[in-house]
Structure 1
Amino acid sequence: MDLVERKSLLEGVDARTRLAGSNKMEILLFSLGTRETFGINVFKVREVGRTPHITKTPNMPRGVEGLISLRGNVIPVLSLISFLEHRGEAVDSGKTMMVAEYSKRTLGFLVHEVDRIIRVDWERVKAPESVLSTNQGLITAITELEDGKLVSILDVEQILANAFGEAIIIDIPPANVGEDVGVFFADDSIVARRKIVEVLDKLGVKHKHATNGAEALARLQGIAAHAAQNGRSVRDEIRLILVDAEMPEMDGYVLTKHLKSDARFSGVPVVMHSSLSSEANRAMGKTVGVDAYVAKFDAEVLADTLRPLLER
């Protein structure tokens, strides 16, 4: 695939906002010079091209190859293969670079080559525990192509945490709420769930969670049914629901649509918390009725967004 084809491959991403609420996503397939096929959400990819000259700098974390200047901005470049378990040496694993945006942060990812964009149903995207997979600590989901080949979707949040360390949460004042106030959150990333728990603990609220949208919907419907049996409202049990945008089996957009169409959840705000930080993704959140959108991961911003919703 030449450079012109790569550029055209990513054109029209904004038009894909219509996928919001359809429980579908579009994945850019790529390889790392091994037999495995990997995927990344197209919304996270800004451009693809040949790897430019990388400036090596001392004391870089493992897996960070160096820095490049991209239209006046200096960004780090990571070699994805260096984070993964693989048999033998990958061949030319860094000849292509994907420029991606995660949590308001622009990064370069070195890969062997990009293939094509596919559209998949989130229902066909499964957590790695449900199938045999290597690199389970860094694979957030797996889907199957029509020819039976498996595609591994990387947990980039975990990769970035491995490379740069996790964000340190210093001081978050507690929310002015009672001891029985609860939050339900859904996120498929282990590192994201850990940081969310830290924020909620500092806010002083109880919490329950799920690791994908389908599990979250089932658990929330169970909570609503239990509350109704006891003559209580859902808001007595859950004051706020925090959802990730990308999750196996059911994404945060479809989960939000279900919640907003269920009268039992009336008055319970839904906040979308996602590493998809572009304006297009904020617009997608609005189309399904989210009450607030927070880009990962700024603990203080997340706490400042949740606090007034919890206190009102």
Structure 2
Amino acid sequence: MSELLKRIDARTKLAGTNKLEVLLFSLGKDQRTGREEIFGINVFKVREVMRTPEITAAPEMPSSVEGMVSLRGTLVPVIDLAKYTGIVTDGRPDIMIVTEYNRHTQGFLVQSVDTILRLDWSAMRMPPDMITNRMGGLVTAVTEVKPNTLAMMIDVEKILAETSPMDDAYLFANLAPTKEHRMVYFADDSIVARKQIERTLDAMNIKYAQAINGMNAWEDLQQMAAQAEMNGRKLVDTLQLVLTDVEMPEMDGYMLTKHIKSDARFAGIPVLMHSSLSGDSNQRHGEAMGVDAYVPKFDPQKLSMKLCEMLKIEDVQRH
């Protein structure tokens, strides 16, 4: 396993190149279809890969949550991805991929790990409706890794949201709506993240537009800039901030930021990077691309505070 992951230390050099490294894995051959589906996860999110250790069952958990394991003194929840996706196989998941993002660690059980591929985000396409419907929105992007074989990038955020159900209303409590007019454009490929951003902005009474990847966002933003020029106005008068995820098919957040910062029409519009990638190196890479600030995902309170700071919001309605 160490040989498989030895290139992980070099992955940070990919920032700003619109490239990523993907760890490919299989959940086994589906008894119903006879196919072996290939999935992928960004190496940025992988902490280690190991043989499945002894798992301690945890009561009152979703059926796909096998239990907990202790890794160097830390209890880590373990999710059987075959059970989660509904893929029925003969084999037992022998491998555990330990992932870390947003400062949380979890294990994913898989049947086998294949290799690490370096890909261009432009080669990652939005999944066709057939895959989206069959996988219930789990897949955020697909790419062909060899003839007639697709690799499907999984939405880790969706898995964690659905296997760790809780009443998250408290996360949005006391978000004060502003009386000032502000407009934000955000881009994120995760439906879970987009819904949380929407709830935050709605609670703050901030208008917004959105895209499901960096390429769509850049196309929309260019149209907004062209429209502002036609009207003889500066874009900053109608758009005050861009909020972007890092990982997105077709164009990642680093490249989107690079485009924005190299176009004079976007002068005065800050870029806020919003990502579940927890490492400090990701923040440094974002800053190198011109990102003005960084805020972790799934913390509406921190997102709200950062938006108030960057949008210079002072006039809020107190509850």
| Cross-structure match for 2:119 | 120
% identical equivalent positions: 49
| Cross-structure match for 1:73 | 74
Q: In 1, are the aligned partners of 2:93 and 2:111 still within 8 Å (CA)?
A: yes
Q: In 2, are the aligned partners of 1:37 and 1:151 still within 8 Å (CA)?
A: yes
| Cross-structure match for 1:174 | 176
Q: In 2, are the aligned partners of 1:256 and 1:290 still within 8 Å (CA)?
A: yes
| Cross-structure match for 1:41 | 42
Q: In 2, are the aligned partners of 1:212 and 1:251 still within 8 Å (CA)?
A: yes
Q: State the distance in 2 between where 1:217 and 1:10 align.
A: 33
Aligned residues: 304
Residue 21 of structure 1 aligns to which amino acid in structure 2? G
Residue 173 of structure 1 aligns to which amino acid in structure 2? L
Residue 139 of structure 1 aligns to which amino acid in structure 2? V
| Cross-structure match for 2:94 | 95
> Which of these residues, 13, 20, 43, is aligned with residue 18 of structure 1?
13
Query: Does the C-alpha gap of structure 1 residues 130 and 288 become closer, same or farther in structure 2, counting only changes over 3 Å?
Result: farther
Q: In 2, are the aligned partners of 1:175 and 1:307 still within 8 Å (CA)?
A: no
| Cross-structure match for 1:3 | none
Post-superposition offset of 1:8: 2.3
1:208-247 residue CA offsets vs partner (Å, 9 max, x unmatched): 0011111000000100111111121111111110001011
| Cross-structure match for 2:317 | none
Query: Does the C-alpha gap of structure 1 residues 155 and 93 become closer, same or farther in structure 2, counting only changes over 3 Å?
Result: farther
Q: State the distance in 1 between where 2:229 and 2:147 align.
A: 46
TM-score with structure 1 length normalisation? 0.93
TM-score with structure 2 length normalisation? 0.91
Q: In 1, are the aligned partners of 2:123 and 2:143 still within 8 Å (CA)?
A: yes
User: SS at 2:128's partner residue?
Assistant: helix
Q: In 1, are the aligned partners of 2:131 and 2:139 still within 8 Å (CA)?
A: no
User: SS at 1:7's partner residue?
Assistant: coil
Residue 171 of structure 1 aligns to which amino acid in structure 2? A
Query: Does the C-alpha gap of structure 1 residues 121 and 301 become closer, same or farther in structure 2, counting only changes over 3 Å?
Result: same
| Cross-structure match for 2:208 | 207
Q: In 2, are the aligned partners of 1:29 and 1:117 still within 8 Å (CA)?
A: yes
Q: State the distance in 1 between where 2:9 and 2:199 align.
A: 34
1:62-100 residue CA offsets vs partner (Å, 9 max, x unmatched): 3111011100111111111111133xx313342100100
RMSD of equivalent CA atoms: 1.6
Q: State the distance in 1 between where 2:26 and 2:146 align.
A: 18
How do 1:121-140 residues align onto structure 2 when only pairs under 5 Å count? 121-129=120-128, 132=131, 134-140=134-140
Unaligned runs of 5+ in 1: 1-5
Q: State the distance in 1 between where 2:3 and 2:96 align.
A: 15
User: SS at 1:225's partner residue?
Assistant: helix
Q: State the distance in 2 between where 1:230 and 1:223 align.
A: 11
Post-superposition offset of 1:164: 1.1
Q: State the distance in 2 between where 1:116 and 1:170 align.
A: 40
Residue 302 of structure 2 aligns to which amino acid in structure 1? V
Query: Does the C-alpha gap of structure 1 residues 144 and 206 become closer, same or farther in structure 2, counting only changes over 3 Å?
Result: same
User: SS at 1:119's partner residue?
Assistant: strand
Q: State the distance in 2 between where 1:294 and 1:219 align.
A: 23
Query: Does the C-alpha gap of structure 1 residues 130 and 63 become closer, same or farther in structure 2, counting only changes over 3 Å?
Result: closer
Query: Does the C-alpha gap of structure 1 residues 131 and 25 become closer, same or farther in structure 2, counting only changes over 3 Å?
Result: farther
Q: In 1, are the aligned partners of 2:178 and 2:206 still within 8 Å (CA)?
A: no
Query: Does the C-alpha gap of structure 1 residues 132 and 72 become closer, same or farther in structure 2, counting only changes over 3 Å?
Result: closer
Matching of residue 157 in structure 1 with residue 152 in structure 2: no
Q: State the distance in 2 between where 1:12 and 1:295 align.
A: 26
Q: State the distance in 2 between where 1:97 and 1:68 align.
A: 11
User: SS at 2:224's partner residue?
Assistant: helix
Q: State the distance in 1 between where 2:174 and 2:241 align.
A: 18
How do 1:1-312 residues align onto structure 2 when only pairs under 5 Å count? 6-34=1-29, 35-86=36-87, 89-129=88-128, 132=131, 134-165=134-165, 167-168=168-169, 169-174=171-176, 176=178, 178-179=180-181, 181-311=182-312
Residue 254 of structure 1 aligns to which amino acid in structure 2? M
